[in-house]
Structure 1
Amino acid sequence: MAGDEKRFKRAFDSLHALAYFAPEVDAALVGAGLRPGRMPYFAGRSAAMGAVGAEVVAATFYNFNPEVVARTIPRAWTLATPAQVLDARVDGVDKALTRLLGDHVKGDDVAEAGELAREAADGCHGEGRPLYAAHAGLGWPGEPHLVLWHAITLLREHRGDGHIAALVLNGLSGIEAVLTHVATGVGFTADAAKLTRGWSDEQWAAAEAGLRDRGILDADGALTEEGVAVRDRVEAATEAAARGPWEHLGPEKTARLEELCRGLSKRVVEAGAFPAGVFAKGRP
């Protein structure tokens, strides 16, 4: 089932990740009082946990530079309450999906996908998964397209919390996680990773040196045999920890949900959900 889960993750990722790129979501969060820039992302994704400090956000987001997080959190909560941020986020997602899907937003496939994704989310559990548990404590929206988005949010945060546990278990810090992910060659470039996650050239170089000393990277910055083994262990543990929703849903319904989400993802991508050259990447 692990391979099926990883393949399905690729099918539904864009349906959630569009919230981080859609101008409607950013406008709604700024309209609620947040400052433009990184604040809408950090506050929007963490608001389900309440008015937490920068340390909690950095811990649960993991691969972002804590110094960058601290520039916007907890200041965000002096500008808008978590409840206001959550309402604005859903309002923005509603507008974004309505634009991207057009009349199709009311389609039977959206409703069916929402029902199946919600059923899959019933197979998640909150033990040791703080970001998932926070979102699981929120009420379900009423509109089918928002049910689908919320369910996928739960599935992604459930997987993400398990992924962080796998990284900790395998001794990779936040910057080491994103750096070794870059070294696999299947995700971010180093420049993109430093820019989006907020790491300086000096911090990046120091982390590279530490990974070379541990035998995880070679002199050219590529993964060594041990480095490949570490990343393989991380991926295997992540997949194992993420099986619950799909075992709960069962293979036939999982296949149907994958089919539906692939079609819907294609629609939103073709409608311009992401800037040119940007697509949802795997988690470091």
Structure 2
Amino acid sequence: MDHEEAGQLAYRCHRVLEPLHAMIYFAPEAEDRLTAAGLRPGRMCYFASRSAPMGAVGPGTVTATFFNFNPVLVAEHIPEAWKLAAPERVLEARLAAADAALRRLLGADTVASEEVAEAADLARQAAELCVPEGRPLYAAHADLDWPDEPHLVLWHAASLLREFRGDGHIAALVGAGLNGLTALVTHTATGKGFLESVAKRLRGWSDDQWAATVDYLRGEGLLDADGNLTEQGNQLRERMEADTNAAAAAPFATLGAQKAERLRELGRSLSRQIIAEGAFPQEGIFASSR
């Protein structure tokens, strides 16, 4: 398997494992347990729970590693979150929420199944083949102890692989001269991510900020008069995806095609199950933030 093939395999595995990680941001169990730990409901739970592996970091670190949120929005919740609940307590609540949510979405029989145990073992192997250099969110999550139960091992491994890929994606965007908002606008323009209205709402950008960025990207030749990607813009986004796949390829190349394809098969079945059980809102806002 050459590097390009490994990158494509990494992408295919990402597509089926991402829901197993991302369900934590929409499960009611997460907000229930995080607010019980002391956090305020809503965005604070997201910002604090995802950044907690890094410790009680400030808003600049969260903005930098999450990449495409308005810094003003982040600063409304961080570092206030750490005054309400220490990172260690947030992490305990998050793991408890993942446990409860997966038990509800998968059901007791599937949670205890050989398929989940096999998927957990393969996903852990892949996650442990990742390296931390230049991957701050992955590295912080990788410093956490592994859970004991297979369904939580699978969730933690899926989280590690997602953050590893995300860190590599941010590096690709920065290398191309994009910042958080220009990356978000161009991604939205592909038609494969958020709707514009959803992107603004979730990431905290105003209509004026969005419009100014669209004007800037038109001047750069990346968007046309209608706000669609130009040929140059499409080439840029395609290059970013190729670079992201390449940066995520190494653990899957080492894992090997047979094991990676088996992980993809298992992950696809489990993700389909949780999606069918209503793990995500109908508007599809769990889509990648790229």
Classify the TM-score, shorter chain. Answer: over 0.9
- The equivalent residue for 2:3 is none
Give the secondary structure class of the aligned counterpart of 2:107: helix
CA contact (8 A) 2:30 2:98 kept: yes
CA contact (8 A) 1:42 1:57 kept: yes
1:277 positional shift: 3.0
1:8 positional shift: 1.6
Q: Which of the numbers 166, 169, 192 marks the counterpart of 1:163?
A: 169
Runs of 4+ in structure 1 over 6 Å off = none
Q: Residues of 1 paired with 2:15 and 2:37: CA distance?
A: 32
CA contact (8 A) 2:11 2:245 kept: yes
- The equivalent residue for 1:108 is 114
Greater RCO (CA < 8 Å, at least 6 residues apart)? 2
What residue ranges of structure 2 are gaps of 5+ in the alignment?
Answer: 1-5
- The equivalent residue for 2:81 is 76
1:272 correspondence with 2:278: yes
Percent identical across equivalent pairs?
A: 57
Please tell me the residue identity of whatever aligns with 2:86: T
Q: Which of the numbers 85, 104, 112 marks the counterpart of 1:99?
A: 104
CA contact (8 A) 2:146 2:153 kept: yes
1:40 positional shift: 0.3
TM-score (norm 2): 0.96
Q: Which of the numbers 6, 12, 20 marks the counterpart of 1:7?
A: 12
Q: Residues of 2 paired with 1:70 and 1:199: CA distance?
A: 14
Instruction: Kindly provide the CA deviation profile for residues 57-106 of structure 1, in whole angstroms up to 9, marking residues without a partner as x.
Output: 00000011111000000000000000000000000010000111112111
- The equivalent residue for 2:45 is 40
Give the secondary structure class of the aligned counterpart of 1:263: helix
1:27 correspondence with 2:32: yes
Give the secondary structure class of the aligned counterpart of 1:30: helix
CA contact (8 A) 1:113 1:257 kept: yes
- The equivalent residue for 1:253 is 259
- The equivalent residue for 2:93 is 88
Q: Residues of 1 paired with 2:62 and 2:225: CA distance?
A: 33
1:279 positional shift: 5.7
TM-score (norm 1): 0.98
What residue ranges of structure 1 are gaps of 5+ in the alignment?
Answer: none
When the two structures are aligned, how many residues end up with a matched partner?
A: 284
Give the secondary structure class of the aligned counterpart of 1:274: coil
Q: Residues of 2 paired with 1:174 and 1:194: CA distance?
A: 12
Give the secondary structure class of the aligned counterpart of 1:67: helix
